[in-house]
Amino acid sequence: MKRRQPSARQLKDWDRRYLWHPFTQMQEWTQEDPLIIERGKGSYLIDTSGKRYLDGTSSIWVNLHGHRHPILDRAVKQQLNKIAHSTFLGLSNPPAIELARELIRIAPKGLSRVFYSDNGSTAVEIALKMAVQYWQQRRPEAGPKHTFLHLKLAYHGDTIGAVSVGNIHLFHSRFKPLLFPTLEAEPPYCYRCPLRLTYPSCAMACLEPIEEILKARHRELAGFVIEPLMQAAAGMVLQPPGYLKQIRELCTKYDVLLIADEVATGFGRTGTMFACDHDGVTPDLMAISKGLTGGYMPLAATLTTDEIYQGFLGTYEEFKTFFHGHSYTGNPLGCAVALANLTIFRQEKTLRRLSSKITLLARWLKPVAAMPHVGEIRQQGMMAGIELVRNKNTRESYPLNAKAGHRVASTARDKGLILRPIGNVLVLIPPLSTSTEELKKMVEIIRKSIDTLGET
């Protein structure tokens, strides 16, 4: 018997009654009319009433080639004809093997091993655990290296280890009793420089305190965790050219592993396949997820070097095994669609075709940057953060309870564009496949929506 489809009204009632949404104040949610996305096509999301919205967030930074891409659809269907899942503990499968080979071919040179998981947070957790166990087994003479350095305003996921190396007070402060201690350093937030200096005359003076920490504490530091080039959830905080390269040099100098969180920045978002490519940097460990499957399936991976991999080899009774895994590790469906994702990059020359879009996006955002309630626009590739301010001259921020970003995003939604702000920062991360006409329309809706701030 065919199941009767619930009406849009029923779905909304059931949503309010049964669901708990992430990063959402549910008291407010249950008083609103929930937007329920039923379908997607290309750069558009389509709700249960048939209304179309441009996907300005790539469905939270995961979609690359548009919704319902035929190559990705076909990959899932073909794999379903074989098997949906089998365990990766003690077994393997063809898509996982082939994907690992392809990932190593495109990854920064020197990364040679792939460990699968389910999402960005778990990929970071794995990197942290690998780093700590590596120092215990490969370099026991180095002493108890089990602490991590990270930047302030960092966000690396919501599991306990990832939160421990994070620093977004609103998200993380309540969980402090659960976290392990870490070391923090100021990020290169040039618009609001904590050193009150100006780039480039500052000569990246923010690196000096980082070197001081590494010099004083390197004997206990297992790794330095960093989002390369762009701290995304911090509000699209952009690092100056060469910053990451100097971080790499400092980590090498003080014998600290560099852990690159490329969950948000990977797979073309910054204009290159990985953000590390801009500075020609190879991290010791690299976490990837989000765009890995083109926005189709939950899948993540932690890539590492042969040096670290060798540290886990030994006889059975030595118990050097990395005792970590997930039920859906190496899921064949996810790996199959991830392989198809990389096929699209090659066939459609995705990275090559991005250059002109990135230039046009910068041109169209320039008038937005001049608006009275816009403090700064930070763009790298197809990632952009538009910081809203109450006073452009003093850079005074809106208080969070003013919900400036939320108000603008709500207006944009009414005009047919889905955005998800981070506090006072509007985040625009469209699918890489977005046409120039669609991109221009997104920016125009944003401009008109920001204009409404002056009306309140």
pLDDT at 4: 84
Model pLDDT, residue 1 = 59
- The rounded distance, in Å, linking the Cα atoms of 46 and 67 is 11
- Which band of pLDDT confidence, cut at 50, 70 and 90, is reported for residue 454? confident
Q: In the beta sheet, which residues pair with residue 412?
A: none
The model's pTM: 0.96
User: What does 309-354 look like in DSSP terms, one character per residue?
Assistant: HHTT---GGGT-S-----TTTT-HHHHHHHHHHHHHHHHTTHHHHH
pLDDT per position as a tens digit, 161-181: 999 999 999 999 999 999 999
User: What residues does each domain of the chain span?
Assistant: 35-65+352-455, 74-347
Q: Hey, what CATH topology would domain 74-347 get?
A: Aspartate Aminotransferase; domain 2 (3.40.640)
The pLDDT, as a whole number, for residue 141 is: 81
What value does the mean pLDDT take over residues 25-45?
96
Indicate the CATH number of 35-65+352-455 among 3.20.20.150, 3.40.50.300, 3.40.50.11720, 3.90.1150.10. 3.90.1150.10
Residue 199 has pLDDT above 60, yes or no: yes
430 prior amide bond cis, ω within 30: no
123-157 in b/e form (b: 16+ CB < 10 A) is: bbbbbbbbbbbbbbbbeeeeeebbbbbbbbbbbbb
pLDDT at 456: 53
Mean pLDDT, rounded, for 323-335: 97
CA-CA distance, 238 to 231, in Å (whole number)?
A: 7
Q: Give me the mean pLDDT over the 370-379 stretch.
A: 98
Compute how many other C-beta atoms are within 10 angstroms of the C-beta atom of residue 367. Answer: 12
Region label for 65, one of left (φ > 0), alpha (ψ between -120 and 50) or beta (otherwise): alpha
Whether pLDDT at 2 is above 80: no
Give Cα separations from 48 to 53, 296, 365 (angstroms). 12, 20, 32
Percentage of the chain lying above the pLDDT 70 cut: 99
Query: What's the pLDDT tens digit per position in 181-195?
Result: 999 999 999 999 999
Confidence (pLDDT) at 187: 96
* Phi, psi for residue 367 in degrees, rounded to 5: -65, -30
Q: What six digits make up the tokens of 385?
A: 């953060």
Residues sharing a CB contact under 8 Å with residue 42, sequence separation 6 or more, in sequence order: 66, 67, 68, 431, 433
Taking the CA atoms of residue 272, residue 278, residue 283 and residue 285 in that order, the dihedral angle to the nearest 10 degrees is: -20
pLDDT at position 3: 76
Mean residue pLDDT of the chain comes to 96
The single-letter code of the amino acid at 347 is: Q
Strand partners, 148: 223
